[in-house]
Structure 1
Amino acid sequence: MKKPLRKYAQARRMRQEMTSPEVRLWSRIKAQERLHFRKQHPVGPYIADFYCAAAKLIIEVDGQVHGTGDIPERDQRRDAWLMSQGYHVHRIPGFEIMAEPDEIALGVITLAESMITK
């Protein structure tokens, strides 16, 4: 099966243009050595902010825009599709990461570890 090259190029661009909350969370989860995460990783027709393959866990960082217009409905459709494919989706508001980055990162790692041991 041919890889969706456009999606990979888009993910590569997004890795270079991460938001402040994404950068804060990424710097913490990449520093730990227990689990491997990928940033801006293509998953099906979507690009996950962060992905842990061992746990099939997708972390989405939601900025203010995620509460406006049709974005909540699009997020619901996206999450439903990802879950139908066996992924676990966890959404974190960006303002929470900015306020407590260490605690949020520890929570993400703990969540991923708990999913692996299930």
Structure 2
Amino acid sequence: PPDATANPYLCLSAMLLAGIDGVVKEIDPVKEGFGPVDANVDDMGRDHIRFLPRNLSEALDALSVDNEFLRRDNIFSDELLDQWAKNKEAEIKSIGTMPHPFEYKLYFNL
């Protein structure tokens, strides 16, 4: 699911293309580990629950593995996706060089 920092046009387009890709390929969500939607997750073991990426780095890894549905018919061009990924990788690198707010509180709140 998107967060508040997502470009709504790109995000909604990508989600729609993912849904269309699933219909075209006749992918069964239950066989892929997504469902049934009315199942009680407390009764399921953690091994049966598929998790979404927890951060931007994991999301970029997932995108690099599965992106042909975005590139089909040049809806998202190779240049757009490649440049977007490069920009996000630069963001990750930049954020990684900054102290976490907890570090400020722990070490500088004297």
Q: Is the shorter-chain TM-score for this pair beyond 0.5, marking a shared fold?
A: no
Larger relative contact order (CA 8 Å, sep ≥ 6)? 1
Greater percentage in strand:
1
Greater percentage in helix:
2
**Larger C-alpha radius of gyration, 1 or 2?**
2
TM-score (norm. length: structure 2): 0.29
